[in-house]
Amino acid sequence: MADFVDVDFTQDPRYVFGDAGHRCFSEFKAHFADNVEVIPESQWKDLIAEMDAAGGGADQLVTRIYDQKNEGSCVANACSQACEIAQAVQFGKENVTHLSAMSLYKRIGRSPNSGAMIDDGLEEMAEKGILPLDTPENRAKFGDKVMPNTGWSTRYPADWEATARKFRAAEWFIVDTVNELITALLLQIPVVVGRQGHSICYCRPMYRNGPLVAKYANSWHESWGDQGFGYDTMSQIRQSSNWAFALRSVVVT
């Protein structure tokens, strides 16, 4: 069985293109270190031990693994996963509303496989929100104001905007360094990263077979990797921290 550590997504046969990165003029956007006190590396080991003793980090708040299928919607899937984790942190895992990545991707992508930018996804979630996933439970709550997770040709339901605004990103920050990225994960703040043409959602720092790794939720179904999760070592974390965004809170009304 493959270890799923530092996966080279561009070489994986299931790779689907999705661009990500900091836009120009990022100095005008909110940065993590300006809003959250960064935890020094000297404290990581003890804090990770406390997290392990408590049963895990934000990975334990993941309520489902996404499946983008053959569409280039990885950015929307990773952003939606982060939004669901933030819901669990704020309101409890049992109160998470599953979301439709496609309802976001159709507004930030150009075609089924164009890919998208992470900051576009978070800005769109902050401004207009995201629709609930089309499930029996969500239909009971929101009627037809739902969408599936895949299907570029799916049309938005009539008057969808009011429902989408019930689920919006509130606070998100650009992550510039490894210390900031690990700090976010220690605080159970999900971090959306883009690397090697794919976007994923970091959810927990941990020591695995010795070295420090970042556990992430992928969007290639739970049959991939470790029940849908993968692990990045420090060398990959350093690269990912150049294209990372932390979602601290959401608004659910």
User: CA–CA separation, 94 vs 249, rounded Å?
Assistant: 17
Mean pLDDT, the chain, integer = 92
Q: Tell me, what's the pLDDT at 78?
A: 97
Q: Tell me, what's the pLDDT at 12?
A: 63
Q: Tell me, what's the pLDDT at 10?
A: 74
Is the pLDDT at 18 greater than 70? The verdict is no
Q: Dihedral of CA 5/7/13/18: which sign? A: positive
- Helix ranges, the chain (H): 44-53, 74-91, 101-108, 118-127, 136-142, 161-164, 178-186, 234-240
pLDDT band at 26 (very low <50, low <70, confident <90, very high): low
3-class state of residue 126 by DSSP:
helix
Please name each of the domains of the chain with its CATH number.
Answer: 29-252 (3.90.70.10)
Q: Tell me, what's the pLDDT at 173?
A: 96
Query: What are the tens digits of pLDDT across the range 120-143?
Result: 999 999 999 999 999 999 999 999
Q: List C-alpha distances in Å: 158 to 143, 145, 161, 224.
A: 11, 8, 9, 35
Max intra-chain CA distance, the chain: 53
Query: What are the tens digits of pLDDT across the range 73-120?
Result: 999 999 999 999 999 999 999 999 999 999 999 999 999 999 999 999
223-238 burial, b for 16+ CB within 10 Å, e for fewer? ebbbebbbbbeeebbe
Is the pLDDT at 22 greater than 70? The verdict is no
Tokens 């900031």, located at residue:
180
DSSP state, residue 157? P
Rounded to an integer, the average pLDDT of 39-48 is 98
Query: What are the tens digits of pLDDT across the range 197-226?
Result: 899 999 999 999 899 999 999 999 999 999
